[in-house]
Amino acid sequence: MKKTLAVLLAVLMLFSLSVISASAVSQSSALAWAESKIGTYYDYDGVYGSQCVDLVLGYYDYFGQGPVSGNADDFSWNAVPAGFTRYSFANIPGGIQPGDIFVNTSGTYGHVGIIYSVSGTNSFVSIDANWPDYSGQAANDTGEDNRAIKYVTHNNYSLWGVIRPTFTSSPASGSNESWRTTDAVNMRSGPGTSYGTYTTVPAQTTVTVTDKIVSGSYTWGRVSYGGYIGYIALDFATKLSGTFSQSWTTTDAVNMRSGPGTGYGVIITVPAYANITVTMKYISGGYTWGYVSYNGYSGYLALDYATQN
């Protein structure tokens, strides 16, 4: 009897923790989680390879909620986890927003993804898996680029509606920088020249940089301009003020290295659930690396094993 009660109490405690985690995620950290999957083949349920539904199931899990069943079009009616609310398109309060799960019910199976930035009533950039649809491929085929998670621009897209998380009202901890463009510069959907262009930011425009990522031969800043949120090459801008930083917490024990790659030496192993400060990010070798400070040490840590506070 005592053992049974102990098991029941343990289950209740785990359930309580999952509910707490569902209400303790900020919009910026949720989007950062989705961005961390860019370029990966994410098969959450181990069925049919990397599908659009897998990304949403992982998103639910990030909020501490269990998976649901069904194809993409079933998200217009299937179970909605605690901390989420489903809205048909005509009834979305305030219109679509970053962090919403969009639901499309057209075609054989429909399509779902995570809205990243909004440019119109039903026009947006999202983070999608398996787009365009390659469901006819062999499930173990990970060589097809269309199965990889990526930024996708949807213009005047047919939406059934959205599933919206309940985000924390407090912004993610950290600080931003103010920059001014020195030339006209393209704003892109991701940190690299291979990403599509949203718009051109004119010279002498002051922007707020909320993220900094070194990718390729440029340092990219995440900015907002003209109703878009995207990345500009800071090589064509001048810093005015501020010092960029973000607060993150490790989710697993992870090595701090002397450079942004697994080939660099290990300085120290940072334990799980440690608070770290990120002052720059680097994309290298399939990982997003953060230059971090922890316990008197500074080095590079794979942010795939951490979450933004």
pLDDT digits (tens, 9 = 90+) for 203-220: 999 999 988 999 989 999
Co-location of 219 and 93 in the same domain: no
Residues 60-82 have pLDDT tens digits of: 999 999 889 999 999 999 999 99
Is 141 contained in some domain? yes
Co-location of 59 and 150 in the same domain: yes
Is 65 contained in some domain? yes
Which domain-ending residue is among 190, 211, 240?
240
Give residue for tokens 């290298």.
284
Spatial CB neighbours of 133, under 8 Å, sequence gap ≥ 6: 107, 109, 111, 146
Is 118 contained in some domain? yes
Co-location of 81 and 105 in the same domain: yes
Co-location of 118 and 185 in the same domain: no
Local confidence band at 256 (pLDDT 50, 70, 90 cut-offs): very high
The structural domain count of the chain equals: 3
Local confidence band at 299 (pLDDT 50, 70, 90 cut-offs): very high
Q: Provide the residue range defining the domain that includes 85.
A: 21-165
CB 249 within 8 A of CB 275: yes
Q: How many CA atoms lie within 13 A of 235 on its CB side?
A: 12
Is 170 contained in some domain? no
Co-location of 151 and 204 in the same domain: no
| Secondary structure of residue 296 in the 3-state scheme | coil
CATH number of the domain to which 189 belongs: 2.30.30.40
- pLDDT greater than 90 at residue 138: no
Q: How many CA atoms lie within 13 A of 212 on its CB side?
A: 23
Is residue 13 within a helix (H) or strand (E), and if so which, with residue range? helix 2-22
Is 172 contained in some domain? no
